[in-house]
Amino acid sequence: MRIAINTGGGDAPGLNAVIRAVTLSALANGWEVFGIRRGYDGLLEDIPNGVIRLDRRAVRGITHQGGTILGTTNRGNPLKWAQKGPDGEMIEVDRSGELIEAFEKRGIDVLVAVGGDGSLSIAAGLAKRGLKVVGVPKTIDNDLDSTLTTFGFHTAVQTATDALGKLHSTAQAHRRVMIVELMGRDAGWIALFAGLGGTADVILIPEIPYDIEKVCEKVESRYRGDRGFCIVVAAEGAKPAGGSASYVEEAKAGRAARLGGAAETLASEIEERTGHEVRSLVLGHLQRGGEPTAYDKVLALRFGTAAVHLIEQGHFGCMVALDPPEILAVPLEEATAKLKLVPTHGEIVQTARRLGVSFGD
């Protein structure tokens, strides 16, 4: 058996642990393992060492490393490949046939596709076209529906919570409102967990559109008491009631729209309305970098090993999913059918509210 592994979409701490787990458990079966570089680019584009052999040596000591030794991309979708059309404009073409041929030519029997919503939807499309695929869920956003959680999320929350801890002292020293923009795309999981753990006063998430007046009321209440400072966490997808999220780049061929600007907009609105000094910051890609937490390492190692176990059983077209205490297999189509958003009346939101957190509603 010859299997290949690739990592697609935005990186997430724990990718290397999956690569190591897949490689070691496949080698133990006497299989050959290959890594495809930069998503599918290693098979579709002329890049040096596009497909590399993974042996014990190649995956030694990588569990603790962030990033991915294979590289990744959130561009190259083989089903909707962006390229210049006859008139020089960007168009999308389907290169899946060429890709499946490339797998056959190299004698690769099965692909382990490690990715988030986008990459796993691509994997589902390839499975439909006949490729044997097993998916492994990855995303710091925690927005994949069929798994309790994804690796990368815990690390991102830890990084963001640490940042909030540091912001408290400077906010207090200057009697300022500090607004922190956190990642998560259309889901507020990172903002909710980090905001709760980092004791933010206001948490704004896409699932609960905010009223700026309510946000300012909470800010003012912090200055009426003896606190005199306020920490606001805004998910990058946070939006005012009746309005839309803030973007820095529109969607174009082969690329999703890029969110950004939520914290900056809030900062000027809050400063104007309350007169308090406000500073905003965007934590950005720091949330995706660095060593995975122990939780994410263990989850990634479990997922990688479970993926190989599914291949042993001849179970394809599915994704491994955490359903404690088990790791289960879920059909890729089902796993990518909808995003997992924060339940607005769920226990975690209620807990935050009982602790005095304002969601600006």
Residues interacting with ligand F6P, by CB under 6 A? 10, 74, 116, 139-141, 183-185, 236, 258-259, 288
* Residue closer to ligand F6P, measured from CB, 33 or 140: 140
* Residue closer to ligand F6P, measured from CB, 140 or 278: 140
CA–CA distance, 314 with 190 (Å, rounded to integer):
35
CA–CA distance, 212 with 209 (Å, rounded to integer):
10
Select from 309, 314, 317 the least CA-distant residue to 333: 317
The CA angle 337-244-210, to the nearest 5 degrees, is 100
Q: How far is the CB of 256 from ligand F6P (least distance, A)?
A: 8
* Residue closer to ligand F6P, measured from CB, 141 or 201: 141
Q: Do 145 and 25 contact (CB within 8 A), yes or no?
A: no
Tokens, residue 278: 């406000």
Q: How many CB atoms lie within 10 A of CB 166?
A: 10
**Is omega for the bond preceding 325 within 30 degrees of 0, making it cis?**
yes
Pairing of strands 51-53, 90-93: unpaired
* Residue closer to ligand F6P, measured from CB, 74 or 172: 74
Q: How far is the CB of 141 from ligand F6P (least distance, A)?
A: 5
Q: Do 133 and 316 contact (CB within 8 A), yes or no?
A: yes
Q: How far is the CB of 144 from ligand F6P (least distance, A)?
A: 11
- CA distances to 13, 67, 121 from 63, rounded to whole Å, are 9, 10, 26
CA–CA distance, 138 with 136 (Å, rounded to integer):
6
CA–CA distance, 81 with 96 (Å, rounded to integer):
9
Select from 124, 158, 192 the least CA-distant residue to 13: 158
Q: How far is the CB of 328 from ligand F6P (least distance, A)?
A: 23
CA–CA distance, 138 with 151 (Å, rounded to integer):
6
Residue in the shown chain whose Cβ atom is closest to ligand F6P? 183
User: What residues are labeled active site?
Assistant: 141
The separation between the first and the last C-alpha atoms of the chain, rounded to the nearest angstrom, is: 55
Q: How far is the CB of 109 from ligand F6P (least distance, A)?
A: 30
Q: What is the DSSP letter of 319?
A: E
* Residue closer to ligand F6P, measured from CB, 141 or 296: 141
Q: How far is the CB of 11 from ligand F6P (least distance, A)?
A: 8
* Residue closer to ligand F6P, measured from CB, 74 or 199: 74
